[in-house]
Amino acid sequence: MSDNQTFFGALETAIAEKTENLNAKVLPGVLSNFQLLHTCVKNMYTMLVQRALIKPDPYKLEKKIVEIVLPDESTYMENERSIVMGTRFSDYESMLEFVCTYYKFSTDRLDLVQTKRLLDLATCIDWRAFSINSSKVNTRGLATLVNEAHVHAPQMVLSLISDSLNKSSMAVSAIYSGLTDFVNFQRESYKFEVRKKVLENPAFDKTTLSSYSAELAEIKRLFPKLLPKKQYYSELIQEIVKEDCSPEKEQFRQQALSRLRVAENTVREVKHKVNTRAMLLDTVLSLSALAPQYEQVIAKIDSNHAVLISEHNGFFDKLKRALRQAFNLKAAPEEYELVIVNQKNEARTTKKIEYNAFFALLVRKQQFLQLFADTEGDEFRKISAAAEETVLGFVNRQLADNWEILLELNALDEYFKSQATAADKDKIKGMKIELVTMKNTLIKTNQKRAEYVAVAEEKMQMEKLGIDENAL
pLDDT per residue over 93-116, tens digit each?
999 999 999 999 999 999 888 999
Direct distance between the N- and C-terminal alpha carbons of the chain, in angstroms, rounded to an integer: 48
Name the CA radius of gyration of the chain, rounded.
31
What is the structure's pLDDT at 266? 44
> Could you tell me what percentage of the chain is helix, strand and coil, using 3-state DSSP and rounding each to the nearest 5?
70, 5, 25
Write out the DSSP string of 49-71.
HHTTSS---TTGGG---SS--PP
CB 304, CB 319: distance < 8 Å? no
Q: What pLDDT score was predicted for residue 175?
A: 95
Alpha-carbon dihedral 308, 311, 316, 318, rounded to 10 degrees: 70
Which of these, 259, 130, 136, 249, lies nearest to 190 by C-alpha position?
Answer: 259
Q: Which secondary-structure segment (H or E) carries 350?
A: strand 348-354
Q: No. of H helices and E strands in the chain?
A: 16, 2
pLDDT of residue 471: 44
Q: Is the Cβ–Cβ distance between 243 and 256 less than 8 Å?
A: yes
User: Helix, strand or coil for residue 435?
Assistant: helix
Q: What is the pLDDT of residue 1?
A: 45
Q: What is the model's pLDDT at position 464? A: 59
pLDDT of residue 270: 45
Give whole-number Cα distances, 245 to 133, 236, 255, 287, in Å: 49, 14, 15, 67
pLDDT tens, the chain, 472 aa long: 478 888 989 999 999 999 999 999 999 999 999 999 999 999 999 999 988 999 988 878 778 888 999 999 999 998 999 999 999 999 999 999 999 999 999 999 998 889 999 999 999 999 999 999 999 999 999 999 999 998 888 877 888 888 889 999 999 999 999 999 999 999 999 999 999 999 999 999 999 988 999 999 999 999 999 999 999 999 999 999 999 999 999 999 999 999 998 876 544 444 445 678 888 888 888 888 898 899 999 999 999 888 888 766 544 555 555 555 666 655 556 888 888 887 666 778 898 889 889 999 999 999 999 888 877 778 888 888 888 889 899 999 999 999 999 999 999 999 888 888 888 888 899 888 888 889 989 998 998 888 888 887 777 766 655 555 554 4
Which residues, 6 or more positions from 416, have their beta carbon under 8 angstroms from its beta carbon? 304, 305, 307, 308, 428
Q: Tell whether pTM > 0.75.
A: no
**Where in the chain are the domains?**
3-260, 276-471
